[in-house]
Structure 1
Amino acid sequence: METNQDRVVASARAVLPATERRRTDLTTHGFTFVADEPHNGALGDGPTPTEYLLMALASCTAQTLRQYVDYKYDTAGDITSRSTTTNPSRKARSATCSARSR
């Protein structure tokens, strides 16, 4: 019998209660978040799933740049990373990510 020796390094749980249409409760490592997909112009109770993905991409980019800068140089000051997505044709999505250091 073969055993799976992969170690889980990250996990997340999403619960969409029966009483909700889109508001989802998220947990990871003891942290709790809310994702919501507002409808008809409403604000919603939290970021959308797409916004969480963009935040993850921006954070990963900033942390990767910080590691590189720390290795290559002394300091770069603040690092700002921005991720955006557009849907101009409503058929295809595009995403961009940019970063800068001050």
Structure 2
Amino acid sequence: MKIKEKIFLPLIMIILMIKPSIAGPYVEEGHIDLVKMDMNTYYCTLRINEQLGNWYCNNIAGKAMFDLAKIAHILNKPAKVTFMSGYVESKAVLGITLE
């Protein structure tokens, strides 16, 4: 019984420490070098610092984010893009802010 307790306690602690570090949003700063919209699925895609992001842009908020990303791209303005972290290559975009 003591061996199981010695194994499970560190395992539980590792899981509890790792999970919050990969689950929250984070911000990328830089220049947006790609903005596009897929008219079939209504998903918009952007790339900033080699990080891809996408969001659903068939509503007012999504279209506003698309317009802001397009302005930052055309004017070559620095931007802050908030992503939801995860293991996928193209992460969900939560927000875009011009600097």
| TM-score, normalised by the number of residues in structure 1 | 0.27
Structure possessing the higher relative contact order (Cα contacts under 8 Å, 6 or more residues apart): 2
Identify the structure with the greater strand proportion. Answer: 2
Higher helix content, 1 or 2: 2
